Amino acid sequence: MSSSADRSASEAARRRTFAVISHPDAGKSTLTEALALHAQAITEAGAVHGKAGRRGVASDWMEMEKARGISVTSAVLQFAHRGCVLNLLDTPGHADFSEDTYRVLAAVDCAVMLIDAAKGLEEQTRKLFDVCRHRGIPVITFVNKWDRPGREALELMDEIEREFRLKPTPVTWPVGDAGYLRGLIDVRQPGRMLRYTRTPGGAHKAVEAPVPGQRAALEDEADWSKAVEELDLLQVDGAVHDQEAFLTGRTTPVFFGAAISNIGVRLLLDAIVDLAPPPGPRELESGGARPVDAPFSGLVFKVQANMDPAHRDRIAFMRVCSGIFERGMTVTRAASGKPFATKYAHSVFGQDRSMVDIAYPGDVVGLVNATALRVGDTLYAEQAAVFPPMPTFAPEHFAVARPADLSRSKQFRRGIAQLDEEGVVQVLVSDLRGDQAPVLAAVGPMQFDVVSARMAGEFSSPVKLEMLPYHLARATDTAGAEALNRSRIVQGEALTRIRDKAQLAVFPDRWQAGSFEREFPEARLDHLIAAHA
């Protein structure tokens, strides 16, 4: 093995690349801040609520995110902890932005699943977990908001096992019911309780103090006894962490805490270092896998423009999959076979960035002004590699977009093309309307809000959106598209997706699609991947 291969393998072993996933409002961006705070990557946590006079979270940089207090785009934070480099990918929780989240999950080795102590497993949490299972991504669970009234801890454990068909293995356990937290037990250090003193507003780390079990039994007798009995019951039932079972997706380590108060966050951060897997071989489209010590290869999983309003640039986020990335190196874009220069490469921390000269497997590099790159692109050096393509999901909402001011038509076209390349929406055209009135297709209607906000704010071209009555899309071909245009009984339309020239047949509902199939049984009509399945 060459020295560069040795270095690549040893540096990969120090990396932990993970995503935080959850249902909306479970506290995902707040947990992201808390993890960065405990790793000393920031000195003060922001508040996620976006109230006047309070900071927004570092990972939420878009004005719409700050105003609404939700994440609508994924963000990358890199920081060090205990000799490891952590690459944290904060994802949108809202179901309307499922496509962005699924793309991010293609770039991580582990996921932290956040559960609201009061609400338990919610719809979007279930969907995201299914994606993790499909991709073979091990999951660490953090039960959040234990400082507020919620459900019984044992009830939540039963729900995880029943709904996800994997064994929850508590690593920390609460002393006191939800809303009345007295402290936490670290299962790895039994016989003591960790007691927390909150800081005002949760802006700084909560003070953590170990309390011997005998003292805890005297001061919090009922809560301590209940917690110990529950842990004994779980351990008798086999709920004990096993690293191999975790990595193979049969168990999930469980932690309790409160992200906004920074309670239990240090234990979770340590667990990411101790339990989460480092980067490993990456599956190739042709079969086999690319080992981390092979020559450089990378996967573009996200494209984002205008993160820095002062520069109005465009960043392609690339996960380094193997080898060593060096700024300025010339690599090959697999889709075109053409060389690509990497002169401007940044390490990204939310909206902030700094020049990066070298990166290793697991790291995320922002390639600036990489206008040729698209989501799903593979880059490589020396030995050719192509990673599997990113999925495109079936849109369920459609709107015709037109410039509100015809004198801004040039900016309108540029902005729509940019949003299409980023994957903010799918952009389609039809013979009926022509290129000047593209049809925007989205998984969820909130994506249209993002389009309106960004077109006005970033491209100086406000748009008028006319909603179409379609909610079902099927893949078809030229013959199918022509048949749909000839139909006199079916309400529907044939559209062509600009990104890949795929032809789609769209209908108001499945009954109209069924009518088309009966009218033209020879026409091709294939199901697309459903984000809301």
| Residues of each annotated binding site for GTP | 90-94
Length of the chain: 533
CA distance 392 to 103: 10
Residue type, 420: D
CA distance 504 to 134: 26
338-341/330-333 β-pairing: antiparallel
How much of the chain is helix, strand and coil, in % rounded to 5?
30, 30, 40
Place of tokens 């979007």: 124
Helix H, strand E, coil C: the string for 438-478 is CEEEECCCHHHHHHHHHHHHCCCCCEEEEECCCCEEEEECH
Place of tokens 């379609």: 470
Q: Where are the beta strands (DSSP E) in 240-359?
A: 251-256, 282-283, 289-290, 297-305, 314-322, 325-326, 330-333, 338-341, 345-349, 352-355, 358-359
Which residues make up each annotated binding site?
90-94
**Nearest by Cα to 301 from 282, 326, 277:** 282
**Structure tokens, 75:** 């963000």
Residue type, 250: R
392: three-class secondary structure by DSSP = coil
Q: Could you tell me where the DSSP H helices lie in 310-431?
A: 409-422
